[in-house]
Amino acid sequence: MLQEKNYDFLKRMQQIHIPGRRDHSVKGTENEVLIDESWKIAVSEKPSKKALHAAMDFQDYLLVSMELSLPVIKLAKGDNSSRCICFLKKEEYSDSLSHAPEKSGSFAVEIAKDNVLLCGADDNALLYAMVYLEDRMNLAQAPILPLLSCLREDLTRMRSIHSGAGVDKFPQWQFDAILHAGFNAVDLFLKDIDTVSWGHCDVASLIDEADSYGLGVVLYNYIRSFKHPDDPDAEEFFDSIYGEVARRYTKAKAISLVGESLEFPSKDPATTGKRHRESMTDGIPDTRPSPGWYPCSDYPAYISRIRDAVHKVNPDMEVIFSTYNWGWTPYEVRKKFLENFPEGVTLQITYEIFKQNRKGDLACPVMDYTISAVEPGYYFTSEAEIASSLGIPIRATANLAGCTWDFGTAPYVPVPQRWIRKMLILKQYLEKCGVKSFYDNHHYGWTPNVMNDLEKEIFNVSGERDLAGFLLKLAERDYGKEAAEKIVKVWEIWSSAMDFYVASNEDQYGPWRTGPSYPFIFQPNITRTMSSKEIAFPTEKTAHFGNRIIKTLYTPYENENQSPGPLRYPRELRDLREMLRIWKEGLALLEEAKKGIPEGLHNDNAQRLFALGSFILHSIMTTIHIKEWWLLNIHLQASSERKEMLAVLDKLEALAAEEMDNAAATIPHVETDSRIGWEPSMEYVCDKWHLEWKKRQMESMLREVRTYRKMVEL
């Protein structure tokens, strides 16, 4: 059985070209070409750095993954290129092409029995072409390519992603992994000039390094600028911040803005006009929203100031603004804001957040990122349609990299059929509203998974059309032909289980976020210090957010568009128990499937999938238990009968014992795959240490329960 120590997953992630992929029994068909030792890899006589990068990466791939050693040669224009795999830009190719690449990043593919041509529109296209060839061979599990002639061209213009190695941590291998996963840009939190989340960083050099892998850099703005756009010194003020960003980082692809990082002294009476932490008078909270959380009438002028400061220096740097923080507001308010939206700015809309779900007669909206909501919410659909009609370019917070807040420390959510449905719906919005730019993960990072392969194909003009067949091929690639059909069925079962997921704030900031290490707090407050019962979840001091995004005192976080917790919880418990039942069914089938997989790469992959599925199963159990725990605590405190209170205490102790067993049973699974239990901004929160901490915390908590029992019996 696999066993890893913390952070071992980073060593695995560094290995872009994986040994053991070749199946020597595969010989190809008459409609395919088998590359052997008689072939060469060719570039032009004066190749660019990226062309050489593409050729040499492919050379290394063939050696490591396909056990095939080929030389890299240079071809003069017009030279005979028989039995060559050629990486050329279109101006370096003398003959005509059936599919001429024009769009940046696109490339023509011509595969014949005695020649393979990758002809790119530009240098970046040759890197993407290299990845395409490697993907095709990985699917074949041999150095075999299908005979074809096509144009590979992304339907999207940008798909950006945060690092999977840690918040704002981009070693060279992470750029390489992101390139191979199919993304073309990275997101970097910018807190000040040359300052990112973890401290000082040579951002300009990082941008250059990303570019060498064909990746742009989006500067995700964290720089505060509390200034009204009408102030006399506003132009100089915004130039000193955003003009300076544009001057320092001339090669940055874009700057991304979001309301919560851009509070300003708005004069709109619908808001406080203050920072959210200062929105009170004499200790009395002002219940109006802060300007960072509302589409103020003067917000367009504020954004315009930032745009002008950036574009005065660099007109090519895209300015993006996200309305994520006020998707909850009425349609008419949001519509008015968009009708005044500044020209030359891209609008970013979140796909699923605030989607209103009805469960019987209850309102259970989506409160944060989740794949349980396959279809978009009204906030997304309404703003996409308005923006499209106004000619505003649109970017979606799409989360298509495979990770969400559903299970905060899972490497990805293994429900590809569900991801396919979401991607196909987003593709419709790409076609009808021009949603051509995707923000594909937040700071929770990413890990290579089949959703990356699916996104490459679904959003390409010549991508796979038989997605069910393609998914089966991906399962064969990763788990072997004998197990593939069962693996696809497991994914299908788990995809259906997500129909019963609960996407509430208290769950996604609680048990879903950490997993089974989530603490259970006895809510009656036995205290001599009058302190809160909330406890600080133990996280590394160096973590970007650490325990600031974990709420340990479980309680409903109510929302004006949501039914109250006491009404929701009985229905949510029924749903979660059904989710648990279905998830167990998938896990049982996976256990059966993995028994027949021989030792090697496929078996390792199956063990990690089983560990992930088991971790999610135990997370579902924790979420069920904490809802039951809260209801029992409320029942206990609302009771005035001694006998009834003692009976509730019995149930609490029994539930605690069950949950402690559940946490202990999770330990082998987080040791199988060290990526489970880790999230970039929190670091480890559900490794073996934290699961054992949970046991100690609950033992301490049970002493409180016993004390309370004595109090009841006084």
Q: Could you read off the pLDDT of 445-474 as tens digits, one per residue?
A: 999 999 999 999 999 999 999 999 999 999
Torsion angle, alpha carbons of 95, 98, 103, 107, to 10: -80
What H or E segment, with its residue span, contains residue 113? none
pTM of the model: 0.96
For the four alpha carbons of 174, 180, 181 and 187, in that order, the dihedral sign comes to positive
Decide if 486 is inside a domain.
Answer: no
- Give the model's confidence band at 560: pLDDT under 50 very low, under 70 low, under 90 confident, else very high: confident
CB atoms within 10 A of CB 27: 10
126, 152, 178 - which closes a domain: 152
Residue 334 placed within a domain:
yes
Write down the pLDDT at residue 79: 75
CA angle 323, 327, 328 (to 5 degrees): 150
- The answer to whether the CB of 245 falls within 8 A of the CB of 219 is yes
Predicted pLDDT at 67: 97
Cα gap 408→550, rounded to integer Å = 10
Count of CB atoms situated within 10 Å of the CB of 598: 9
Q: Which amino acid is at 72?
A: V
In whole angstroms, what separates CA 353 from the centre of its chain? Answer: 14
d(CA 59, CA 256): 37
- Of 136, 152, 168, the position where a domain reaches its end is 152
Residues 138 and 242 reside in one and the same domain: no
The reported pLDDT for the residue numbered 98 is: 81
DSSP summary character for residue 242:
I
194/323 same-domain check:
yes
Give the residue numbers spanning the domain of 109: 15-152
Give, to the nearest 10 degrees, the angle between helix 203-211 and helix 172-181: 40
Q: Using the Cα atoms of residue 140, residue 144, residue 148 and residue 150 in order, give the sign of their dihedral.
A: positive
Verify that 525 and 663 share a domain, yes or no. yes
Helix axes 601-638, 481-497, angle to 10 degrees: 20
- pLDDT on residue 321: 98
Mean pLDDT (whole number) for 191-196: 96
Q: How many domains is the chain built from? A: 3
The pLDDT assigned to 266 comes to 95
The 10s digit of each residue's pLDDT in 32-49 is 999 999 999 999 999 999
Instruction: Identify the pLDDT of residue 169.
Output: 97
What pLDDT score does 523 carry?
A: 96
Band the pLDDT of 280: cuts 50, 70, 90. Answer: confident
Residue 710: per-residue pLDDT: 97
In a domain, 595, yes or no: yes
**Region 150-156: what's the mean pLDDT?**
97
Q: Residue 366: give its domain's CATH number.
A: 3.20.20.70
Q: Are residues 259 and 309 in the same domain?
A: yes
Q: What angle do CA 215, 217, 218 make, to 5 degrees?
A: 135
Asked whether residue 5 is domain-assigned, the answer is: no
Percent over 70 (pLDDT), the chain: 100
Burial class (CB in 10 A: 0-12, 13-18, 19+), 103: middle
Co-location of 416 and 306 in the same domain: yes
**pLDDT, mean of residues 343-350:** 98
313 and 210 in a single domain? The answer is yes
Residue 67, domain CATH: 3.30.379.10
Instruction: With cut-offs at 50, 70 and 90, classify the pLDDT of residue 596.
Output: confident
Q: Does the pLDDT value for residue 96 go beyond 80?
A: no
Residue 322's H or E segment, with its range, is strand 318-322
Percent of the chain that is helix, strand, coil (3-state, to 5): 45, 15, 40
Q: How far apart are CA 62 and CA 555, in angstroms?
A: 54
Rounded Cα distance between 293 and 18, Å, is: 46
pLDDT reported for residue 627: 98
DSSP letters along 206-226, please? HHHHHHTTT-EEEEEE-----
Q: Give the residue-averaged pLDDT of 404-433.
A: 97
435-448 per-position pLDDT tens digit: 999 999 999 999 99
Residue 138 contacts residue 477 (beta carbons within 8 Å): yes
* Residue 455 within any structural domain of the chain: yes
Interstrand relation of 362-363 and 358-359 (parallel, antiparallel or unpaired): antiparallel
Provide the token pair at 301: 């002028």
Examine the pLDDT at 94 and tell me if it is beyond 90.
no
Q: What is the pLDDT at residue 181?
A: 98
* pLDDT (0 to 100) of residue 452: 98
Q: Answer whether residue 10 is part of any domain.
A: no
Burial of 289 (0-12, 13-18, 19+ CB in 10 A): buried
Q: What digits encode the pLDDT tens for the residues 495-516?
A: 999 999 999 999 999 999 999 9
> What percent of the chain has a predicted confidence (pLDDT) above 90?
93
User: What's the rounded Cα separation, in Å, for the pair 563 and 365?
Assistant: 9
Stretch 702-708: mean pLDDT: 97
Residue 650's closest CA among 636, 640, 634?
636
Whether 485 is covered by a domain: the verdict is no
255 and 128 in a common domain: no
Residue 260 shares a structural domain with residue 301: yes
To the nearest whole number, what is the mean pLDDT of the chain? 96
Query: According to the model, what pLDDT value does residue 171 have?
Result: 97
Q: Check residue 576 and give its pLDDT.
A: 98
162 & 75 share domain? no
Select from 152, 183, 210 the last residue of a domain.
Answer: 152
Q: Residue 528: its pLDDT value, please? A: 85
Over range 327-334, report the average pLDDT. Answer: 94
Torsion, Cα 265 267 270 273, to 10 degrees, reads 20
Residue 711: its pLDDT value, please?
96
With respect to residue 180, please indicate whether it lies within any of the assigned structural domains: yes
Please check whether residues 145 and 195 belong to one and the same domain. Answer: no
Q: Quick one: 277 and 411 in the same domain?
A: yes
Residues 146 and 170 in one domain: no
